[in-house]
Amino acid sequence: MKTTTIEIAKSEGSLFARLEVPANGKVRHYAIFAHCFTCNSNLSVVRYISRTLTNHGFGVVRFDFTGLGRSSGEFADSNFSGNVQDLITVAEYLEKQYEAPAMLIGHSLGGAAVLAAAAQLDSIKAIVTIGAPAEVDHVTHLFADGLNEIEQTGSAEVNIGGRPFRIKKQFVDDLKSRNLLETVKGLKIPYLIMHSPQDLTVGIENAAKLYHAAFHPKSFISLDGADHLLTNKIDAIYVADMIGTWAGKYFPELDEDMISTKGEQVVVHLDLENNFTSEVFTPHHTLIADEPKSVGGEDLGPSPYELLNASLGACTVMTLKMYAQRKGWDLQEVFCYLTYSKKHTDDLPEDLEVEATGQIDHIQKTLEFVGDLDEKQRERLKQIASKCPVHKTLTSPTIIDTKLI
């Protein structure tokens, strides 16, 4: 994934945005992500979804609404209609500079905004909402304690998510003037609704109303156990993966030729803005590699040494399967447990023949067989496990020839 910071001019001020595209720079379609009420485009779930969609060929713009994050303006002067206009402004920018967006994704009130914006954008071919309200004025319950003051004085400072915001009467009036369900009834494009049954901010009944109002093709995915902001990384990644998979149904060409490996077997790409999160591509597959948080990573995928262990383990069990089948042995399942570490040669078992001295790389490989095998067969399978191609590569002299492009 490659990230570009952009500034999108509007009638007054500008919108701060990030455009994220596939690592090979080849964008099949563009999408826009609208964040939740009072949030910003750097929320973890926004970043996870953007990164995942780039693996499916999307270019994704995530931006800050007026008065939030790094966009100009005052939040107090904004309203829902202004948020919808911000989305349209971003869409017009994409159409002018790149290509009109094909998909809109919105979280919470951002979900309501993408529904309203989609009704005004002919290029939109699919919509996704996450924890979105069915009635736009539902958001007023977040600052219900300040409604009387807003009505009487025209504005009030309220606390939302532990942060102070000034809300004006025009913001409340604008929310009340919107009929979101009627808007949804007018949309005749694929619509994915994602919502948690345990959402305490926007209740699950909102998803039911949106689903009932929408026309097919419509889909619903339950985010069981997730909170409204998807603060649990596992929930955020799940949402990202599901959107990417669902989008493949309506943009099937996205699954083809994600990136050129330039004739090589694997290419790994890292945009330094993404810390250690790296994309690993083969001609037909992709996965994420990362480092754990303990060493400064985001833990979004296996670490390099975990991938090394995975390669050895996969090759081992595949080799054992082929050998047992050829022999006609009753091997039903194989488990291969691996751990990499640095060890001193003095700490190794005496039966291991090691010529080196001092600290060396050590991989502990433990096998578990399921099936009706006698002790002789089990011992032979243990010997075969050391003869798999990756095992031989790791234990034989290997030359790594590094070149520059």
- What per-residue confidence (pLDDT) applies to 126? 95
Q: Nearest 5°: phi and psi at 284? A: -130, 0
Query: Which pLDDT does position 261 carry in this prediction?
Result: 67
Q: pLDDT digits over 249-303, tens only?
A: 888 765 455 556 677 888 888 877 778 888 888 877 778 889 988 888 888 789 9
CA pair distance 262, 240, nearest whole angstrom = 28
Close Cβ partners of 314 (under 8 Å, ≥ 6 residues apart): 390
The H or E element that residue 333 is part of is strand 330-344
Token couple for 331: 């091997």
Residues above pLDDT 70, as percent of the chain: 91
Between 245 and 376, whose confidence is greater?
Answer: 376
Whether 163 shows a pLDDT value over 90: the answer reads: no
The predicted structure's pLDDT at residue 184: 93
Average pLDDT score over residue span 217-223: 96
Please give the mean pLDDT across all residues of the chain: 85
pLDDT at 329: 96
Contacts of 400 (CB under 8 A, 6+ apart): none
Extract the tokens encoding 309.
């262990």
Q: Are the CB atoms for 195 and 201 separated by under 8 Å?
A: no
**Digit-coded pLDDT (tens) for 140-156:** 766 667 777 777 787 77
Bond into 217 cis (ω within 30):
yes
